[in-house]
């Protein structure tokens, strides 16, 4: 019996993290989840991100933390049954909201309850390419200069926290998936002979 893992995908908008998180979920027969969640607080956050409602940047940070409190309970429950793959987590709050000007210590303090992931996969992308992938309908954070700032913050976090970093700029969806799968497989199974899907 091997440990059920909590795997997080991070990256700027257009990096391919949602696609890759869902592909890995299917391959591992894991539980897929995301932030913001589909709960009441998560739905409010989505309205703010779409520009339908407004609030102070610190209020948004608090909303993300509140949504995460409920989310962590779900993650811990699901880890009793299977691996959990999460599309965005605490590091999104740090990368995006410090880039907005929110103090990092404040973000860490209000998220001190957050469960530490076993694996974090950071997908990077050339920002111009990422913007092209997003299409016309964009959220409030989806501006080129801002996303460059966010990606730089992610890379600093990756160095500090030991994330797996994969550049998806010139790779097909399948190429990125195979690269992720190879690394995850080695992390999950180590020297075991068991293959993914068994």
Cis peptide before 121 (omega within 30 of 0): no
Cα separation of 4 and 134, whole Å? 33
CB 61 within 8 Å of CB 106: yes
Does 130 appear as a known binding residue?
no
Does 197 appear as a known binding residue?
no
Does 118 appear as a known binding residue?
no
SS3 content of the chain, % helix, strand, coil (to 5): 55, 10, 35
Does 3 appear as a known binding residue?
no
Cα separation of 36 and 91, whole Å? 13
Compute CA 68 distance to the chain's CA centroid, rounded to the nearest angstrom. Answer: 12
Does 17 appear as a known binding residue?
yes
3-class DSSP state for residue 85? strand
Q: Specify the residue for token string 């440990």.
A: 3
Which of 116, 60, 70 is closest to 91 using CA atoms? 116
Q: Specify the residue for token string 């954070």.
A: 141
Does 18 appear as a known binding residue?
yes
Does 12 appear as a known binding residue?
yes
- The Cβ of residue 21 has, within 10 Å, a number of other Cβ atoms equal to 26
Does 110 appear as a known binding residue?
no
Known binding residues are 11-18
Binding residues for ATP, by number, are 11-18
């Amino acid at each position: 019996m091997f440990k059920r893992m909590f795997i997080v995908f991070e990256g700027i908008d257009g990096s391919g993290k949602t696609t890759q998180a869902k592909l890995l979920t299917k391959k591992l027969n894991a539980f897929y989840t995301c932030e913001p969640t589909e709960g009441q607080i998560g739905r409010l956050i989505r309205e703010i991100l779409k520009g339908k409602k407004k609030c102070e940047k610190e209020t948004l940070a608090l909303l993300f933390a509140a949504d995460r409190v409920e989310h962590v309970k779900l993650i811990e429950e699901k880890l009793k049954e299977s691996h959990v793959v999460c599309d965005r987590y605490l590091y999104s709050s740090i990368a995006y909201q410090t880039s907005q000007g929110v103090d990092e210590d404040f973000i860490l303090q209000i998220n001190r309850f957050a469960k530490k992931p076993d694996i974090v996969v950071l997908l990077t992308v050339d920002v111009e390419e990422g913007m092209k992938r997003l299409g016309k309908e964009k959220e409030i954070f989806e501006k080129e200069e801002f996303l460059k700032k966010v990606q730089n913050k992610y890379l600093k976090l990756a160095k500090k926290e030991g994330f797996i970093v994969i550049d998806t700029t010139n790779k097909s969806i399948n190429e990125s998936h195979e690269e992720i799968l190879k690394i995850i497989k080695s992390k999950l199974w180590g020297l075991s002979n068991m293959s993914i899907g068994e």
